[in-house]
Structure 1
Amino acid sequence: MFGGRRKQRDDLFDRSFRECVDCGADVYVLAEDCKDCGTALELRAS
């Protein structure tokens, strides 16, 4: 019925996280420190 139309993946969720430089855990981009290891994180502007 929809002829092969695929829903495009929203990468907003993927862009909302970054990798901790110390332990590699996914951390919210606005977080001040890693939830897993406690490493202080720098905010990055892009």
Structure 2
Amino acid sequence: VEYYDLPWIRRIVRQAEADDYRWSSLILGIVESTPFQMRKAREQ
């Protein structure tokens, strides 16, 4: 997690809070976020 991820993290937490912090809300928020969808695989 980097400093530039913080706005997305706050958004995900707010959405999860509205859904009583269900795991499904957290996971859905993460996988639907732009940073998650735009990430690149690390080269090894």
TM-score range, shorter chain: under 0.3
TM-score by structure 1 length? Answer: 0.26
TM-score by structure 2 length? Answer: 0.27
Identify the structure with bigger relative contact order (alpha carbons < 8 Å, sequence gap 6+): 2
Greater share of strand? 1
- Whichever of the two has the greater Rg, that structure is 1
